[in-house]
Amino acid sequence: MSGDGAEMLARATWSALVEPGDVVAGTVVDLLGAVGALEWVRAAVRSGPDLAGLEERHGPLDDADRRRVAKAVARWAVRLPDCDARRDLEHLDRLGGTLLVPGDARWPSALDDLGSEAPFCVWVRGEPDLGAVLAPSVAVVGSRAATSYGERVAFDLADGLTAEGLCVVSGGAYGIDAAAHRGAVARGGRTLVVLAGGVDRAYPAGNARLLEAVVGAGGALVSEVPPGSLPTKSRFLQRNRLIAAAGRATVVVEAAWRSGAMSTAHHAARLLRPVGAVPGPVTSMASAGCHRLLREGVAVCVTDAAEVRELAGVIGSGLEAAADAARSADGRAARHQDSLDPVSSRVLDALSRRVPTDVDRVASLAGVTVAEARGVVGLLELSGWVVRRGTGWVAVRIATS
Amino acid sequence: MSGDGAEMLARATWSALVEPGDVVAGTVVDLLGAVGALEWVRAAVRSGPDLAGLEERHGPLDDADRRRVAKAVARWAVRLPDCDARRDLEHLDRLGGTLLVPGDARWPSALDDLGSEAPFCVWVRGEPDLGAVLAPSVAVVGSRAATSYGERVAFDLADGLTAEGLCVVSGGAYGIDAAAHRGAVARGGRTLVVLAGGVDRAYPAGNARLLEAVVGAGGALVSEVPPGSLPTKSRFLQRNRLIAAAGRATVVVEAAWRSGAMSTAHHAARLLRPVGAVPGPVTSMASAGCHRLLREGVAVCVTDAAEVRELAGVIGSGLEAAADAARSADGRAARHQDSLDPVSSRVLDALSRRVPTDVDRVASLAGVTVAEARGVVGLLELSGWVVRRGTGWVAVRIATS
């Protein structure tokens, strides 16, 4: 097997040997390389850890470090006999999948920001060029126990982001995650599902068709654990760091006061990625986590795809201006009069729509000079706001619909 | 008439002579006193403004200042003949009202923060000791075109704030304002209605009974313009600065993208008063202004009375802790397992609820040493999380309701 093949096998082995986010493992691999670290572990299991070998690269280890390493070796020793990377890779092969390791041109470099908590490798089903899929991307996450409001917002956000060419990253769960993936797929876009268990397992089973549709639409299912691995609670929590790292920004659509989506938001914040939260009714517990993120300053308030794109720092297609205009439409009638200067506005207010008012009276009512009142009604007449009737003036009703 | 009487008459006259927020008037009164400034205006109308007299107090005026003063005198001259403070005070007297001027022990000193835009006086119906009514207070404002969600939140907020001894200040309008006043009155508390027109005018007419109930409950209706004054558009906008100044903090419950409530929020921000915004569905245009305030960093997200009280910096009665507990209640089941350390949590995840698992297998599934697995299942058994069955262990279902 070539050097690259050995590296892949070693990383595949590491991904089966240790639980996701095992910092000791990450550090040992950083120090010795995946292949060297695995040889070091095999020797350690046979004859005790070679701490001097580690210290050569790391510098002196203190007693606490030594204890942590010894304990790690003891727990890795339990699983080592069961690890068989060739078997796992054959399994992946039967699924038509791809193993990505750092250095591969298709590797999603965003994950490197996780440092010694980065995954050893990524097991992929679907489009293997994750670098291309993710450029650029936004994580859209939230509660399994979502409301119809939250699901609608997640779908619409994903639809809008996909239309703008952004990849939506989420966890494939029921509720917000599924709605986000659906919005992306419905728009014909690529979306990334980061699973807590193996990519052979459609989890939850009720989303199996959705996950197939993601693959069919050119997206991908990914996991840091080999095919066959169960999605345990701790893997769900660790999985959240991958979602946060994969997106340029993370948006929480609905989340209870404590929830997995909150952990994803905090992972993103620790990675210095922007975090957005979609507000909702304060009477809805499903939005309590979003409001908490806003109150605590962890997240910025986002209400549509244009604002999320802005959060992620992705240059847009000018749709913001249109959205701003649409938002302002409800204030159109008010804006008409707002467009007047304060004196003109006061003069207009002083006029009745029925009974003509003469200029002296207008000046008194509006609190302006007679000369001002005369000048202003003349200008207002030119703009169609008022008409002369007899010796006075009346305001014209402006259509507001 | 005593000196104080002259001051009151002069201030009452100023409040009729100029439009609210007339900065030239405010400056002249600051320089010469209300009585002296009025004498100055009367002389100016007869024989031109005595700019030298102003410069004696103010320092040199530049050409722009001189033009502004001349223009102001010209507009005041129009109204001066109609001003009759004695008539206005008699009108107030028939309403059972009170005129407050700065220096009165009952004067709401919070308004002084408006500087040269402070009102000359406040016309009051109901409880005249505004200093007492307002200590402490929060402005709760929002759209006339409120949704049932917004009205419910405004009512509940006002109810909760009143229960905590805070006075709710608002504008007496339909929608959010009315719901806020209603919440305060329903709780038997004092609330302050700041009107844009005279205190003799129940505006809008549909809220007449509510405004009477406010007075009946020990609150007050106030205005900076004399009885009989119309609530014009510019007076509504100026009125908002009084609402913002009267509250220690201002909370916007619902507001369209542009609206009067947004102007109140910006007045509060300019006064360095804290601003809160209640989030709502992003699909509701009635909440678009609130979300805008959150996004632009003008407002903090607030979702209940305890958070509003915290915003206003009012020491509470320990209800926060209870509210936090209530909010966390939906996360109770999750918290149980969250309370376990990571290793215990992983061991628990490794156990089935039906099929017993032996300790070696637990260690491998959880990625821990056999010794750890053995220790942890023992502790979990003591806490009732797991039970031994044969040579293995099963997890116990924890009630989550």
Please report the pLDDT score of residue B130 as a whole number. Answer: 97
DSSP structure string for B209-260: HHHHHHHHTT-EEEESS-TT----HHHHHHHHHHHHHHSSEEEESS--SS-H
Q: Are A263 and A286 in contact (CB under 8 A)?
A: no
B289: number of CA atoms within 13 Å, CB side? 28
Residue B161 token pair: 């704030």
What's B340-395's CATH class? Answer: mainly alpha
Which of B78, B285, B345 is opposite residue A364, by nearest beta carbon? B78
Domains B109-326 and B340-395 belong to one CATH topology = no
Q: Do B291 and A301 touch (CB under 8 A)?
A: yes
pLDDT digits (tens, 9 = 90+) for B375-394: 888 888 877 788 888 888 88
Please report the pLDDT score of residue A316 as a whole number. Answer: 53
Residue B136 has pLDDT above 70, yes or no: yes
Q: State whether residue B307 sits within 8 Å of chain A by CB.
A: yes
Q: Do B78 and A282 touch (CB under 8 A)?
A: no
Q: How many CB pairs under 8 A join A and B?
A: 171
Distance from CA of A246 to the nearest CA of B (A): 24
pLDDT digits (tens, 9 = 90+) for B3-49: 589 999 999 999 999 999 999 999 999 999 999 999 999 999 999 99
pLDDT digits (tens, 9 = 90+) for A153-165: 999 999 999 999 9
For chain B, what is the mean pLDDT? 90
CA distance B339 to B351: 18
CA distance B3 to A344: 39
DSSP letter, residue B384: T
pLDDT, mean of residues B293-307: 96
CA distance A24 to B195: 67
pLDDT digits (tens, 9 = 90+) for A33-43: 999 999 999 99
Q: State whether residue A345 sits within 8 Å of chain B by CB.
A: yes
Residue A1 has pLDDT above 50, yes or no: no
Q: Do A304 and B287 touch (CB under 8 A)?
A: no
For A249-356, strand residue ranges (E) read 249-252, 275-277, 300-301
Please report the pLDDT score of residue A384 as a whole number. Answer: 80
Q: Are A100 and A110 in contact (CB under 8 A)?
A: no
Q: State whether residue A317 sits within 8 Å of chain B by CB.
A: no
Please report the pLDDT score of residue B383 as a whole number. Answer: 76
Residue A400 has pLDDT above 60, yes or no: no
Q: Which chain A residue has the Cα nearest residue B257?
A: A328
Confidence of residue B368 (pLDDT cuts 50, 70, 90): confident
- CB under 8 Å to A178, separation ≥6 — which residues? A151, A172, A207, A210
Closest CA to A69 of A113, A12, A28: A28
Residue B90 has pLDDT above 90, yes or no: yes
Distance from CA of A137 to the nearest CA of B (A): 21
Please report the pLDDT score of residue A315 as a whole number. Answer: 65
Please report the pLDDT score of residue A349 as a whole number. Answer: 87
Can you list the pairs that A99-105 forms with residues at least 24 positions away whose Cβ atoms lie under 8 Å?
A: A99/A8, A99/A11, A99/A12, A99/A123, A99/A124, A100/A124, A100/A128, A100/A130, A101/A7, A101/A8, A101/A11, A101/A34, A103/A7, A105/A129, A105/A131
pLDDT, mean of residues A194-210: 94
Q: Are A55 and A61 in contact (CB under 8 A)?
A: yes
- CB under 8 Å to B80, separation ≥6 — which residues? B17, B41, B42, B45
Q: Which chain A residue has the Cα nearest residue B232?
A: A349
Please report the pLDDT score of residue A331 as a whole number. Answer: 42
Please report the pLDDT score of residue B316 as a whole number. Answer: 53
Q: Are A347 and A380 in contact (CB under 8 A)?
A: yes
Q: Do A257 and B330 touch (CB under 8 A)?
A: yes
Q: Are A213 and A185 in contact (CB under 8 A)?
A: yes
Confidence of residue B96 (pLDDT cuts 50, 70, 90): very high
pLDDT, mean of residues A176-199: 97
A67, A69, A157, A234: which to substitute to probe chain B, counting the most B Cβ within 10 Å?
A234
Confidence of residue B399 (pLDDT cuts 50, 70, 90): very low
Q: State whether residue B229 sits within 8 Å of chain A by CB.
A: no
pLDDT, mean of residues A125-144: 96
Cβ-based contacts of B285 with chain A (< 8 Å): 327, 330
Angle (CA) B115-B116-B119 rounded to 5° is 90
User: What are the domain boundaries of chain A?
Assistant: 3-83, 109-326, 340-395
CA distance B304 to A287: 13
Which of A75, A149, A342 is opposite residue B367, by nearest beta carbon? A75
Which of A 6-35 lie inside 8 A of B, CB atoms? Answer: 18-19, 22
Q: Which chain B residue has the Cα nearest residue A329?
A: B257
pLDDT, mean of residues A56-60: 90
Buried b (16+ CB within 10 A) or exposed e, B173-192: bbbbbbbbbbbbbebebbbb
Q: Do B257 and A291 touch (CB under 8 A)?
A: no
B85: number of CA atoms within 13 Å, CB side? 21
- CB under 8 Å to B398, separation ≥6 — which residues? B333, B336, B337, B385
- CB under 8 Å to A61, separation ≥6 — which residues? A51, A54, A55, A69
Residue A323 has pLDDT above 60, yes or no: no
A294, A298, A335, A348: which to substitute to probe chain B, counting the most B Cβ within 10 Å?
A294
Q: State whether residue A346 sits within 8 Å of chain B by CB.
A: yes
Cβ-based contacts of A14 with chain B (< 8 Å): none
Bigger pLDDT: B287 or B345?
B287
Query: What single letter denotes the amino acid at residue A23?
Result: V
Please report the pLDDT score of residue A267 as a whole number. Answer: 94
Residue A7 has pLDDT above 70, yes or no: yes
Which of B282, B288, B366 is opposite residue A153, by nearest beta carbon? B282
For chain A, what is the mean pLDDT? 90
pLDDT digits (tens, 9 = 90+) for A212-247: 999 999 999 999 999 999 999 999 999 999 999 999
pLDDT, mean of residues B338-349: 80
Confidence of residue A337 (pLDDT cuts 50, 70, 90): low
pLDDT digits (tens, 9 = 90+) for B178-204: 999 999 999 999 999 999 999 998 889
Give strand pairing partners of B194: B222
Q: State whether residue B204 sits within 8 Å of chain A by CB.
A: no
Residue A305 has pLDDT above 90, yes or no: yes
Q: Are A15 and A124 in contact (CB under 8 A)?
A: no
Which of A71, A258, A287 is opposite residue B369, by nearest beta carbon? A71
Please report the pLDDT score of residue B344 as a whole number. Answer: 85
Confidence of residue A152 (pLDDT cuts 50, 70, 90): very high
Distance from CA of A210 to the nearest CA of B (A): 26
Bigger pLDDT: B327 or B4?
B4
| CATH T-level topology, domain B109-326 | Rossmann fold (3.40.50)
Q: What percent of chain A stands above pLDDT 90?
A: 74
Cβ-based contacts of B291 with chain A (< 8 Å): 279, 301, 303
Q: Do A82 and B280 touch (CB under 8 A)?
A: no
Q: Which residue has the tokens 């619902």?
A: B254
Confidence of residue B99 (pLDDT cuts 50, 70, 90): very high
Three-state DSSP class for B150?
A: helix
Cβ-based contacts of A335 with chain B (< 8 Å): 258
- Interface predicted TM-score (ipTM): 0.78
DSSP structure string for B78-127: HHGGG--HHHHHHHHHHTT-EEE-TTSTTS-GGGGGGGGGS-S-EEEEE-
Q: State whether residue A115 sits within 8 Å of chain B by CB.
A: no
Q: State whether residue A257 sits within 8 Å of chain B by CB.
A: yes
Task: Using DSSP bridges, classify how beta strands A167-170 and A191-194 pair: parallel, antiparallel or unpaired.
Answer: parallel
Closest CA to B162 of B186, B136, B189: B189
